[in-house]
Amino acid sequence: MYLLPVLWSVMLFCITLPILSKLKAWFRVFLMSKRLPGPKGHPLLGHAAEFASKEKFFESAKEWAKEFSMHKTFILFHPLILLHSPETVQVVLRGNRHSEKGFIYKGLRALLGEGLITSKGSKWHAHRKLITPTFHFNILESFVDVFVKRTNQMMDRLKEKAGGEVFDICPYTQKLTLDFICETAMGTPVNAQNNQRLQIVSAIHKLEEIGIYRMIRPWLLSDWLFKFTKMGKEQDKYKNILHSFTNKVITERKEFVRNRSMEKAMGMNEEDTGATGEGGHLQSCDEGLQPLKSTTSEKFEDKIAKKKKAIFMDLLIEYSENGRLLTDKDIREEVNTFMFAGQNTTQLAINYCLFLLGNHPKIQDRAYEELESIFGSSDRDPTTADLRDMRYLEQCIKEALRLYPSVPVIARTLTHDETIGKHTLPAGADVLILPYVLHRNPDQFPDPETFNPDNFLPERVKNRHPYSYIPFSAGPRNCIGQKFAVLAEKTALSSILRRYRIESLHSQDDLVVVPNTVLVPKKGIRLRLIPRTTAEADSERAAK
């Protein structure tokens, strides 16, 4: 008779205790954040209007940065702490003390699962250690063949636009970088004209859009609530499309790797068997990767450093040790993360660099002169050594990433109380770092709105704060694929510059950028490409 009330009391206690615990933690973060300096906001909405207006958000943030190196903001009753100076950014990004990603990444979990971007703690550390050797320089060097081949295909498509027609370069670079990523990640060229593959690409972008939608609506970050919404059902639909495709490719690549290892064990090589990864797959290696016995990433690096060609997924399969170190789910999440993180960011870096070069003819001429010194009058494809020699072009890429960082927002959740100056930032608080604003610090970059590749001369870099420029983040959770990105960007940019003079149709003042998961040009990047032979003839006539 008395047992039922007791059971109900225990159940009620078990339900309310976690809620009370979370409320207590939130209340502490809220009160401690209120004590921090910050711009004046709406009494109830806080700074929700500034965050909601994506087109004007950076303008607000730049004004805040003039007054505060670190400050609080609020979206309703949710505090967000913004860091603007390299000194405050360094406190949070260096070391592993605050390595947990911020709440804004939660909306991307349907797309990324627990890959390197979203995972935390021991899982992140273990996967980072396993995956780092797959970006060994010898592996990256093998990707250059893919970059060159696919860039040449884009150049063929660009011929129809050459000669002065104004057009948006974004669709061309999007298809290019999709081919880069899919081919190097999965051995599967996306072939953008193929409708089935486009469906996969569409699923990735839809899941990204849904993630962004949830980020600015914190009540939808609850998976339990979100699954009952119309958009929650859409998320399940696109997630199933993406996962089905990736799972199918994993099954195919595992079979391919297994057969290759058997052939190698029998003393055969791929030339003997003609194994080239049928069904749209690239040949993964000239020799075939041997099953790895070691459980350390150092020994793994020794093995893969000797390989001629590689596919990211194949390397993960080889190192999974039949699911002991990486399950199929882990491989899928890391491949999806690589595709998501690599495609948009690489495309945007190419686009913004073309835009800026088109606005600065003298800088463009200097970059072209460097390419002439490397290639002369030859139209041969670039080698890895050629790409390394493109030092000034690399300065242009870095400067473009300073002005228009592909990833405009970095978020962390503080795992400990952190003292900055005379202020204490509470554990559990969400911290935002805005590279778009940080990179415009006049103390670090004089005349910060001007495109000046000389900002990245070695002597200038040496005298700058190491956390003043973080287009690939910084510290232990920096971007693992940054060397991959720069090689891909150099390949595409050098090919365009060697063939065309670039003219931008808009100035920097006219360019409107929007901070989503990446920094999107709202109206695209409209250019005019003039063949070099035509441009040189015009120049000679003008001189006469």
User: Three-class SS string for 167-200?
Assistant: EECHHHHHHHHHHHHHHHHHCCCCCCCCHHHHHH
CB proximity list for 302: less than 8 A, separation 6 or greater: none
CB 504 within 8 A of CB 167: no
User: What's the CA gap between 348 and 493, in Å, rounded?
Assistant: 12
Pairing state between β 423-425 and 418-420: antiparallel
For 125, what's the count of Cα atoms within 13 Å in the CB-facing half-sphere? Answer: 7
Residues in the chain: 544
Q: Phi and psi (nearest 5°) for 120?
A: -150, 170
For 46, what's the count of Cα atoms within 13 Å in the CB-facing half-sphere? Answer: 17
CB 314 within 8 A of CB 253: yes
Classify residue 292 by its DSSP letter.
Answer: P
Helix (H) or strand (E) holding 424: strand 423-425
Cβ atoms within 10 A of the Cβ of 544, count? 5
Q: Looking up tokens 């998501």, which residue turns up?
A: 340
User: What's the CA gap between 100 and 124, in Å, rounded?
Assistant: 10
- Nearest Cα residue to 435 out of 58, 170, 103: 58
User: What's the CA gap between 483 and 132, in Å, rounded?
Assistant: 12
Q: How far, rounded to the nearest angstrom, does the alpha carbon of residue 467 sit from its chain's CA centroid?
A: 18
The CATH number assigned to the domain with range 121-543 reads 1.10.630.10
Pairing state between β 519-521 and 430-433: unpaired
SS3 502: strand
Sheet containing 526-531: order of strands: 166-168, 526-531, 500-504
User: What's the CA gap between 292 and 296, in Å, rounded?
Assistant: 10
User: What's the CA gap between 464 and 542, in Å, rounded?
Assistant: 42
- pLDDT computed for residue 102 by the predictor: 77
Q: Looking up tokens 């287009």, which residue turns up?
A: 471
Burial environment of residue 124 by CB neighbours within 10 A (0 to 12, 13 to 18, 19 or more): buried
- pLDDT computed for residue 489 by the predictor: 97
CB 409 within 8 A of CB 430: no
Q: How far, rounded to the nearest angstrom, does the alpha carbon of residue 363 sit from its chain's CA centroid?
A: 27
Which whole-number Å values give the CA distances from 85 to 221, 225, 449, 451, in the listed order?
A: 30, 38, 17, 21
Question: ∠508-514-519 over CA atoms, to 5°?
Answer: 85
- pLDDT computed for residue 270 by the predictor: 47
User: What's the CA gap between 150 and 186, in Å, rounded?
Assistant: 15
pTM of the model: 0.86
User: What's the CA gap between 448 and 441, in Å, rounded?
Assistant: 7
Q: Looking up tokens 């993630």, which residue turns up?
A: 211
CB proximity list for 246: less than 8 A, separation 6 or greater: 186, 332, 335, 336
Residue ranges for the chain with pLDDT beneath 70: 1-20, 189-198, 267-309, 534-544
Where exactly are the structural domains of the chain? 121-543
CB proximity list for 129: less than 8 A, separation 6 or greater: 297
Burial environment of residue 358 by CB neighbours within 10 A (0 to 12, 13 to 18, 19 or more): buried
User: Three-class SS string for 67-132?
Assistant: HCCEEEEEECCEEEEEECCHHHHHHHHCCCCCCCECHHHHHHHHHHCCCCCCCCHHHHHHHHHHHH
Classify residue 474 by its DSSP letter.
Answer: -
Which whole-number Å values give the CA distances from 359 to 346, 502, 520, 525, in the listed order?
A: 20, 8, 19, 12
Pairing state between β 526-531 and 78-83: unpaired
C-alpha radius of gyration, the chain, whole number: 25
